[in-house]
C-alpha cells in the first residue's frame, strides 16, 4: 500500500510496530523523536519530570532548551528559574540556549536540529515551522515532554493528510505570509483541522526557504498539526549553509556532508499514489497582499480593501517565529529606508535570533530599521505573547508580522491586532495607518476555493488488537452536550484551575459548571459524554479531563477535539474517541438539543473497541482504531503512572 511522506517519516521513527506493519493515518504509534524542544516551560516540564521520581534523562541528545518567552523579565524569580534550568541542562548534558539567543523554533532550524525527513516535537504549538525544511514538526504537551525526557518516547496518532498543490509564482510584493493568510481565510470551515498538510506542486520551487518557514509556521493557525514542504534544491542549499556555519562553530556531527548527499540522492517524499483525506489547489500568482483580522486569523481582507479605509495604527511589530528572519527584516528595511515612522506610531523590531540580528546588521537592514525610528527588542517572543515592552493598550490598533491576533494576545483585550507581511507592517508604520508601499499594484483579488475529498479517502481499517484487561466493549448511558467548541473553561472553570486543594469529589461537584450548572446533578457513574466538534478548545488545563473522570464519566465521544485537550485526556488515562459521523447523527436526532444544555438519551451507546465501531439506536459508526499505545496508557492510569512503572 502506498504511504504519504508523513506516514513514512513516522514509520522511520516508530518503535514497537508489529513486523510488517505499515503506518497509516489514524494509527496510534509510539515514536522516538529526534528532538524535543521546550522553552520557558522547561521549568514546568522539569517539575513534572521530578514528580516521576526519575533522575536520569533517557537520551540527553534529545531535549533542547531554549529560553525565549519571558526574556525581558529580569526579576529575581524569573532569573532564578533560568539559572535552575541552565544548571539542570549542564548537569545532564542537554543542549541549552540562554535568553537572548533567539526564539526556540528558529534555533531548532538554524542550529540544524530540524532536518529533512526528521521528526522533532516541541512543547509549543509552532513546532509546525520545522516543516519548512522538510522535517515533521508537531506539538506535544508538558506531560509528554517530561515523559520524553524519562523514556525517549511519546505516543502520537498519525493525522490524516491534506495535499496542498501550489502552482504559479507569487507576484512581486506578494509574500509567503500573504499565501498562508489567504489559505487560512479561504479554508476556515475546519477543512484542515487536526490534519497534516503536505505542500507539493511546481509552485514550491518558487518559494524561498524563509517563505516556506512562514507558511509552515502558520499552518498551526490554519488548524493543522504539521505542515511539510518537499526537500529540493532550495532546502539542500540551506542545509549546506547550516552545515558550514555549524562546522565554523566546531559542531561537525549535527549536519554532515554525508547527510546532505543522502537527502539529495533520496529526498523524503510520498509515494505517487498515496491517499489523502483532502486536496487543495492554490495558484500562487492569484494571491494578493492580505491581512488577517482584527481578532481572528479566520478573517482576512485584502490590502486593497483595507488601505483606503486609512485604519489608524498605533503600534507595529516586526518580530516572532513567523516573520523575523533576515529576508523579512530586509523586506521591511527596503520599505522604510530613508524615511521615518509616523510620529504617533511605535515600531518594535526583534530578530528571530541573535544570529539573524547579526546578519541584519551586516547587510545594513537592522540599521535602516533603527534609523527609521524602530525600537529594538532583544531576540525572543516578547509582545507576540504579551510579555515585556511594547504591548497593545486599551483602544490601540496594532499591525504585526506575527501569527496570532486573538483578543488580548498582544496586550489589552480592548485593542485590535491585524497580521500582515513585514513589508505591509513597515509601510503601515510609516503611514500611520494600514497601507502598502506606494508603488504596489493594490489588486485585491483572491483565488477561488478549490477543495476536494478524493474518492477512496477514509475506509475501514483492520480489526484492532485489544490488550488483556482493556474492555472490548464499553457501554453506558449517553449524555449529549449539543455544543461545538465547548471550551475547557466550560468544562472546568478557571476559578478552580489554580486551586491545589480540590478533592475529586469537589471537582465532580463543579464539573461543567460554566457550561451547564445542572450537569453535575444529572451525571451518573459510567455515563458516556457525547459532544459536537472541537471539544476541549481554549486554554490547556488538565483538570478539564480529570474532572470528568472524577464525575465517573467512562469516556467522551466527540466530532473532533482540540489536540491539546486530547493529549491531556489520554495522558491522564481518560479515553476520548473522535467520530464526526456520530456527532452529526446526534445533532440531527436531538435537533441540536432543543435548547437544553445536557440531553439524557433514552438509548445507551456502546463502543466496540475491537471493531472500532460505535453502536446506537441500531446504527453503526466507525471511528479510528484505538491502537495499543493508547490502550496501554489508559490501562496504566495515565502516562505518568506508566513511566513510573517502566512500562513504556
Ligand atoms: Fe514565541 Fe510568538 Fe512564536 S510566542 S514561539 S514568537 S508564536
Residue 214: pLDDT over 90: yes
* Cα–ligand 1 centroid distance for 260 (angstroms): 29
For the whole model, what pTM was predicted? Answer: 0.92
Tell me the per-residue pLDDT of 99-132, one tens digit each, with 9 for 90 and over. 999 999 999 999 999 999 999 999 999 999 999 9
Q: Name the band, by pLDDT with cuts 50, 70 and 90, for residue 334.
A: very high
421 in helix, strand or coil?
coil
C-alpha–C-alpha distance, residues 310 and 255, integer Å: 48
* Cα–ligand 1 centroid distance for 321 (angstroms): 5
For 489, the enclosing helix (H) or strand (E) is helix 488-491
Domain boundary among 431, 447, 482: 431
Is 277 part of a structural domain of the chain? Answer: no
What local confidence, expressed as pLDDT, does residue 109 receive? Answer: 98
Is 335 part of a structural domain of the chain? Answer: yes
Domain boundary among 105, 123, 157: 157
* Cα–ligand 1 centroid distance for 387 (angstroms): 11
What local confidence, expressed as pLDDT, does residue 456 receive? Answer: 61
Task: Looking at the CA of residue 124, tell me the nearest atom of ligand 1.
Answer: 5
C-alpha–C-alpha distance, residues 530 and 158, integer Å: 23
Residue 424: pLDDT over 70: yes
In this structure, the answer to whether residues 502 and 634 fall within a common structural domain is yes
What local confidence, expressed as pLDDT, does residue 538 receive? Answer: 85
In this structure, the answer to whether residues 543 and 487 fall within a common structural domain is yes
Is 252 part of a structural domain of the chain? Answer: no
**Residue ranges around ligand 1 (CB below 6 Å):** 69, 103, 105, 124, 126, 320-321, 381, 384-385, 402-403
Q: Say if residue 391 is exposed, middle or buried (CB neighbours under 10 Å; 0-12, 13-18, 19+).
A: buried
In this structure, the answer to whether residues 344 and 415 fall within a common structural domain is yes
What local confidence, expressed as pLDDT, does residue 572 receive? Answer: 95
What local confidence, expressed as pLDDT, does residue 648 receive? Answer: 45
What secondary structure letter does DSSP report for 392?
B
Which CATH number do you get for residue 577? 3.20.19.10
- Residues 6 or more apart from 28 whose CB is under 8 A from it? 155, 156, 157, 625, 626, 627, 628, 629, 630
In this structure, the answer to whether residues 487 and 619 fall within a common structural domain is yes
Q: Name the band, by pLDDT with cuts 50, 70 and 90, for residue 645.
A: confident
In this structure, the answer to whether residues 388 and 497 fall within a common structural domain is no
Biggest CA-to-CA distance, the chain? 73
C-alpha–C-alpha distance, residues 422 and 430, integer Å: 12
Q: Say if residue 645 is exposed, middle or buried (CB neighbours under 10 Å; 0-12, 13-18, 19+).
A: exposed
In this structure, the answer to whether residues 424 and 485 fall within a common structural domain is no
Report which of 416, 432, 264, 427 is spatially closest to residue 343, judged by C-alpha positions. 432
Task: Looking at the CA of residue 404, tell me the nearest atom of ligand 1.
Answer: 7
Residue 444: pLDDT over 90: no
Is 406 part of a structural domain of the chain? Answer: yes
* Cα–ligand 1 centroid distance for 187 (angstroms): 23
User: Could you give the number of structural domains in the chain?
Assistant: 3
In this structure, the answer to whether residues 412 and 505 fall within a common structural domain is no
Tell me the per-residue pLDDT of 381-422, one tens digit each, with 9 for 90 and over. 999 999 999 999 999 999 999 999 988 999 999 999 999 999
In this structure, the answer to whether residues 427 and 478 fall within a common structural domain is no
In this structure, the answer to whether residues 497 and 632 fall within a common structural domain is yes
Query: Mean pLDDT across the chain, nearest whole number?
Result: 94
Is 261 part of a structural domain of the chain? Answer: no
* Cα–ligand 1 centroid distance for 611 (angstroms): 42
What local confidence, expressed as pLDDT, does residue 123 receive? Answer: 95
What local confidence, expressed as pLDDT, does residue 647 receive? Answer: 43
In this structure, the answer to whether residues 328 and 414 fall within a common structural domain is yes
Is 443 part of a structural domain of the chain? Answer: no
Protein residue closest via CA to atom 3 of ligand 1: 321
What local confidence, expressed as pLDDT, does residue 462 receive? Answer: 58
**Phi and psi based region of residue 491 (left: phi greater than 0; alpha: psi -120 to 50; beta: remaining):** alpha
Q: Which residue has the higher pLDDT, 647 or 528?
A: 528
Q: Tell me the mean pLDDT in the region 461-479.
A: 89
Protein residue closest via CA to atom 2 of ligand 1: 384
Is 312 part of a structural domain of the chain? Answer: yes
CA distance readout (Å), 105 to 5, 132, 173, 369, 597: 22, 11, 26, 24, 41
* Cα–ligand 1 centroid distance for 381 (angstroms): 5
Residue 127 lies in domain: 32-157
Is 498 part of a structural domain of the chain? Answer: yes
Are residues 576 and 569 in contact, defined by beta-carbon separation less than 8 angstroms? Answer: yes
Residue 190: pLDDT over 90: no
48 in helix, strand or coil?
helix
Which CATH number do you get for residue 405? 3.30.499.10
In this structure, the answer to whether residues 490 and 604 fall within a common structural domain is yes
Residue 142: pLDDT over 90: yes
Domain boundary among 157, 184, 207: 157
In this structure, the answer to whether residues 415 and 534 fall within a common structural domain is no
Amino acid at each position: 500500500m502506498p504511504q504519504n511522506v508523513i506516514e513514512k517519516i513516522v514509520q522511520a521513527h516508530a518503535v514497537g510496530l508489529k513486523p510488517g506493519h505499515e503506518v497509516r493515518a489514524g494509527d496510534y504509534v509510539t515514536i522516538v523523536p529526534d528532538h524535543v524542544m521546550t522553552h520557558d516551560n522547561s521549568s514546568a516540564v522539569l517539575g513534572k519530570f521530578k514528580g516521576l521520581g526519575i533522575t536520569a534523562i533517557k537520551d540527553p541528545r534529545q531535549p533542547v532548551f531554549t529560553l525565549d518567552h519571558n526574556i525581558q523579565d529580569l526579576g529575581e524569580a524569573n532569573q532564578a528559574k533560568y539559572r535552575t534550568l541552565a544548571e539542570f541542562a549542564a548537569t545532564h548534558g542537554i543542549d541549552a540556549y540562554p535568553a537572548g539567543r533567539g526564539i526556540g523554533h528558529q534555533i531548532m532550524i538554524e542550529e540544524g536540529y530540524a532536518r529533512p525527513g526528521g521528526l522533532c516535537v516541541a512543547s509549543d504549538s509552532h513546532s509546525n515551522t520545522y516543516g519548512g525544511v522538510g522535517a515533521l514538526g508537531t506539538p506535544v504537551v508538558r506531560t509528554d515532554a517530561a515523559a520524553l525526557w524519562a523514556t525517549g518516547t511519546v505516543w502520537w496518532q498519525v493525522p490524516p493528510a491534506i495535499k496542498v498543490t501550489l502552482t504559479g509564482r507569487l507576484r512581486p510584493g506578494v509574500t509567503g505570509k500573504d499565501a498562508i493568510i489567504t489559505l487560512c481565510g479561504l479554508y476556515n470551515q475546519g477543512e484542515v483541522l487536526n490534519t497534516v498538510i503536505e505542500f507539493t506542486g511546481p509552485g514550491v520551487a518558487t518559494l524561498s526557504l524563509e517563505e516556506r518557514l512562514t507558511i509552515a509556521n502558520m499552518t498551526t493557525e490554519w488548524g493543522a498539526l504539521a505542515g511539510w514542504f518537499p526537500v529540493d534544491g532550495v532546502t539542500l542549499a540551506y542545509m549546506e549553509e547550516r552545515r558550514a556555519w555549524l562546522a565554523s562553530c566546531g559542531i561537525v556531527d549535527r549536519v554532515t556532508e554525508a547527510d546532505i548527499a543522502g537527502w539529495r540522492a533520496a529526498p523524503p517524499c510520498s509515494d505517487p499514489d498515496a491517499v489523502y483525506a483532502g486536496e487543495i489547489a492554490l495558484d500562487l500568482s492569484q494571491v494578493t497582499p492580505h491581512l488577517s483580522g482584527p481578532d481572528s486569523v479566520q478573517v482576512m481582507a485584502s490590502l486593497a480593501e483595507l488601505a483606503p479605509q486609512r485604519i489608524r495604527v498605533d503600534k507595529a511589530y516586526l518580530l516572532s517565529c513567523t516573520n523575523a528572519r533576515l529576508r523579512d527584516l530586509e523586506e521591511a528595511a527596503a520599505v522604510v529606508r530613508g524615511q521615518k515612522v509616523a510620529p504617533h506610531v511605535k515600531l518594535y523590531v526583534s530578530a528571530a535570533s541573535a544570529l539573524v540580528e547579526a546578519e541584519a546588521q551586516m547587510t545594513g537592514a537592522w540599521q535602516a530599521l533603527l534609523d527609521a525610528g524602530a525600537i529594538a527588542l532583544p531576540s525572543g517572543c516578547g509582545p507576540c505573547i504579551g510579555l515585556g515592552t511594547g504591548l497593545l493598550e486599551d483602544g490601540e490598533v496594532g499591525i504585526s508580522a506575527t501569527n496570532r491576533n486573538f483578543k488580548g494576545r498582544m496586550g489589552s483585550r480592548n485593542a485590535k491586532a491585524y497580521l500582515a507581511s513585514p513589508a505591509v507592517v513597515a509601510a503601515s508604520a510609516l503611514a500611520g495607518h494600514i497601507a502598502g508601499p506606494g508603488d504596489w499594484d493594490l489588486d485585491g483579488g483572491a483565488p477561488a476555493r478549490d477543495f476536494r475529498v478524493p474518492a477512496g479517502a477514509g475506509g475501514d481499517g483492520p480489526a484492532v488488537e485489544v490488550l488483556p484487561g482493556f474492555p472490548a466493549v464499553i457501554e453506558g448511558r449517553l449524555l449529549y452536550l449539543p455544543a461545538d467548541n465547548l471550551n475547557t473553561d466550560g468544562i472546568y472553570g478557571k476559578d478552580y484551575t489554580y486551586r491545589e486543594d480540590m478533592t475529586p469529589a469537589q471537582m465532580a461537584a463543579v464539573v461543567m459548571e460554566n457550561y451547564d450548572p445542572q450537569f453535575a446533578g444529572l451525571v451518573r457513574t459510567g455515563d458516556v459524554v457525547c459532544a459536537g466538534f472541537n471539544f476541549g478548545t481554549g486554554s490547556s488545563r488538565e483538570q478539564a479531563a480529570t474532572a470528568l473522570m472524577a464525575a465517573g464519566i467512562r469516556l467522551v465521544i466527540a466530532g473532533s477535539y482540540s489536540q491539546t485537550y486530547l493529549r491531556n485526556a489520554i495522558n491522564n488515562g481518560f479515553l476520548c474517541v473522535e467520530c464526526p459521523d456520530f456527532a452529526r447523527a446526534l445533532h440531527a436526532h436531538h435537533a441540536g438539543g432543543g435548547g437544553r444544555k445536557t440531553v439524557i438519551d433514552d438509548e445507551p451507546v456502546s463502543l466496540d473497541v475491537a471493531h472500532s465501531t460505535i453502536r446506537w439506536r441500531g446504527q453503526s459508526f466507525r471511528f479510528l482504531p484505538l491502537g495499543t499505545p493508547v490502550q496501554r496508557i489508559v490501562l496504566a492510569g495515565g502516562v505518568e503512572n506508566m513511566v513510573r512503572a517502566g512500562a513504556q
